[in-house]
Amino acid sequence: MNSNSITISIASATDVEAILALFVDTINTVCAKDYTPEQRAVWTAGAQNTKRWLKKLEQHYFMVARLEETLVGFASLENNYIDFLFVHKDFQDRGIAKLLFETLREKAAENNIETLASDVSLTARPFFEKMGFVVIRKQDNPTRGVNLTNFRMEKRLKK
């Protein structure tokens, strides 16, 4: 697969079912090495609120990546904050995350954003570091009595 076969487009409400399935499946497979079943259950519970996701699709710069008709990734930018950047478990390490990130970075540059920020999982931290992000702080996020560790990371776009 080359990156030319991947198409990036604005997400629409018709994508929400595939986005939610990818979100849950990626957390339960790719993130399994870093998070316990209990942590993953709490994290994926967010997929049950479809209205919240539809609102994010409307309000964020929300992109999807496709290989032919298959949704293989998604990412979103809200002002200077990368809220989501997920790639399908079967399409890891093929440049899709980088392609999605570059699309968000270009949008941020168009909007004269100086610094990008994100709350990044243990699993995603190495990718974000490769993209030039630095850890600002480790964060413990107690959710329904379960702690979900992540990292606030930032990347300067302008000097």
* Predicted confidence (pLDDT) per residue in 80-126, tens digit: 999 999 999 999 999 999 999 999 999 999 999 999 999 999 999 99
Q: Are strands 115-121 and 70-78 parallel, antiparallel or unpaired?
A: unpaired
Phi, psi of 92 (to 5 degrees): -70, 155
CA–CA separation, 50 and 9 (whole Å): 20
Q: Supply the pTM of this predicted model.
A: 0.93
Q: Are strands 115-121 and 81-87 parallel, antiparallel or unpaired?
A: parallel
Fold of 3-118: Aminopeptidase (3.40.630)
CA–CA separation, 96 and 38 (whole Å): 28
Q: Domain map of the chain by residue range?
A: 3-118
pLDDT for residue 1: 41
